[in-house]
Homo-oligomer: A and B are copies of this chain.
Amino acid sequence: MAEENGRQGEPCVRSKTGGTLTKGDVVVLTLRLLCMATSVTAMSFMVTARQVSAASFYGFQLQLHSKWSFSYSFEYLVGVTATATAYSLLQLLIAGSRLLVKKSPVIPSRNQAWLVFAGDQILAYAMMSAGSAASGVANLNRTGIRHTALPNFCKSLDSFCDHVTVSIAFTFFSCVMYAAAAVQDVIWLSTH
């Protein structure tokens, strides 16, 4: 029972519940955990990005309200990271239940592997898209728009801009994680 879960030639670690964890399984679970952690971090930094500040432009005193939900791109980022978090949690639960409860491999069949590959690919693309759209807008905020004479918003909205920057960084890191998960799926497909 324990032997059939371990792939040939891979070192096996016997888990406390009696199943076997191959090196491949550990990599899959670690990647899924990292995917979820980075998605949650990106989402929470973006959702907490709001600031009220005052600035004077050309002698006028303006009150600046900034909130993530004022920009479509930031809303999109929150939507994508929320979806990614839900997907990763689901994947983690499925993988965990297969390994610990049913004592079967994480990926039981080729069809399942193709399905997981498709999911990982789509989320990697979505993450890349969200990060890029948000950084396009964040870049405008930081430098001012070049063909109009808008001032630099980030001077007066420093906390808002920092939150957005950290969130975008984690979104790109998350994209790399999903891309790695997709490559892991391809390795599985090419060797099984």
Contacts and interface: CB of A to CB of B under 8 A. Distances in A.
Interface of A: 64-66, 70-73, 110, 117, 121, 124-125, 128-137, 139-140, 143, 146-148, 150, 175, 179, 182, 186, 189-190
Contact of A129 (B71, B128, B179, B190): B128
B73 A146 contact: no
**Stoichiometry (number of copies):** 2
Contacts of A135: 133
Q: Is the interface of A mostly helix, strand, loop or mixed?
A: helix
A86 to B, nearest CB: 21
Contacts of A133: 132-133, 135-136
29 contacts: A66-B147, A70-B147, A71-B146, A72-B139, A73-B136, A73-B139, A110-B190, A117-B186, A121-B179, A124-B125, A125-B125, A125-B175, A125-B179, A128-B128, A128-B129, A131-B132, A132-B136, A133-B136, A134-B136, A136-B136, A136-B137, A137-B137, A137-B140, A148-B150, A186-B186, A186-B189, A186-B190, A189-B189, A189-B190
A136 B131 CA distance: 10
A125 B137 CA distance: 19
A140 to B, nearest CB: 7
A152 to B, nearest CB: 13
Given A132-B133, A186-B186, A189-B189, 13 more contacts: A64-B147, A66-B147, A71-B147, A72-B143, A124-B125, A125-B179, A128-B132, A129-B131, A129-B132, A137-B137, A137-B140, A140-B140, A148-B150
B179 A147 contact: no
Contacts of A134: 136
The 8 A-B pairs with the shortest beta carbon distances in the complex, nearest first, are A136-B136, A133-B136, A132-B132, A129-B132, A189-B190, A132-B133, A73-B136, A70-B147
